Structure 1
Amino acid sequence: MKHHLDAAALAALVRAKRAGRGLREIAEEIGEISPATLSRVENEKAPDMTTFLRLCDWLQVAPAQLLAAQNGTADTAPDRPQQIALLLRSDRQLDPATANALASLVEAAYAKLPRHDD
C-alpha cells in the first residue's frame, strides 16, 4: 500500500509552531534545514525524507500522523486522538507548548478508554 504526505497539514503545523519567528531562526533551531527549505514546506511542497523526519521531531509529531494511505482505507487512517492532536498542534490560536500539552492530554485520555472494535 502506498502512502503520501499530507503537505498541507505539515505546512500548517510548521507555520503554527514558527508563530511569526523568522525562517532563519527556526532553521537554526531545527538544524541542518535551510530557510529556503522551510519556506517550501510552508508552501506545501513535500520535503525529502531526512527533512521530513527532522521536522516531525521538531514538531513532536509522529511521522505516521502526516502520512495517509493513497487508497484512503480506514485501517491506515489516523485514529481519532491522532486527528485531534494534529488539529490542536496546527491551530494558530494556540502557542506550541499549549497545543502539545492539550494534544498529550487528549491522547492520554483516549488511551484510558476501553477499545471497541467497529
Structure 2
Amino acid sequence: MESYLDIERLASLVRKKRGSRGLRETATDIGNVSPSTLSRVESGKMPDMETFVALCNWLQVPPAELFRTSKEEQLDTPEAIAIQLRADKNLDPAIANALASLVKAAYRDLSQNDGELKQDP
C-alpha cells in the first residue's frame, strides 16, 4: 500500500490558519520557516521534513493525519470544492472560507433530503 503526503490539504490548512496575516509575520510565528518557503507550501509544493514538522506543530495537527494510503482515495465533493476555493488567490481567505462553508451546508442539506432539491413556493 502506497502512502503519500496530502499536500493540498496541508496547503489549505496553512492558508486557512494564516488568514489575512502576512507571510513574514506567519513565518516568524512558525519559526525556522522562511516566508518564501511558506508561500511555496501554500502553492502546493512539497516541504522538506523539518518544515513539514514545524508546520504540523504550528497547525497542531499530527503529521500522520496529513498522509493518505493511496492515490485512489478521493475527497468528497464538498471538501474538494472547499480546497479549490481556499486555493484561489483571487479570493479573500475569509470569503473563500465562507463560500466553502456554504457549499458544505448545501451538500449536507441535499443529503438530508435524499438528493431532492427544495423548491420555494
Please tell me the TM-score bracket, short chain as reference.
0.5 to 0.7
Q: Is the 8 A contact 2:78 2:103 kept in 1?
A: yes
Task: Name the count of aligned residue pairs.
Answer: 104
1:45 maps to: 46
> What 5-or-longer segments of structure 2 have no aligned partner?
115-121
Cα RMSD after superposing both structures = 3.8
2:119 maps to: none
**1:107/1:113 Cα in 2 relative to 1: closer, same or farther (>3 Å)?**
same
Instruction: Map 1:1-118 onto structure 2 (within 5 A).
Output: 1-7=1-7, 9=8, 13=12, 21=22, 23-29=23-29, 31-35=30-34, 37-38=37-38, 41=41, 42=43, 44-48=45-49, 49-54=52-57, 57=59, 68-72=68-72, 76-114=73-111
Q: Which amino acid aligns with 1:44?
A: K
> What 5-or-longer segments of structure 1 have no aligned partner?
none
1:54 and 1:96 map into 2 onto residues whose CA distance is 22
How high is the TM-score relative to the length of structure 1? 0.59
SS in 2 for 1:109: helix
Shift of 1:45: 2.2
**1:33/1:43 Cα in 2 relative to 1: closer, same or farther (>3 Å)?**
farther
Shift of 1:50: 3.1
**1:11/1:103 Cα in 2 relative to 1: closer, same or farther (>3 Å)?**
same
Q: Is the 8 A contact 1:6 1:68 kept in 2?
A: yes
SS in 1 for 2:4: strand
When Rg is computed on C-alpha atoms for both structures, the one with the higher figure is 2
Q: Which amino acid aligns with 1:53?
A: C
**1:71/1:32 Cα in 2 relative to 1: closer, same or farther (>3 Å)?**
same
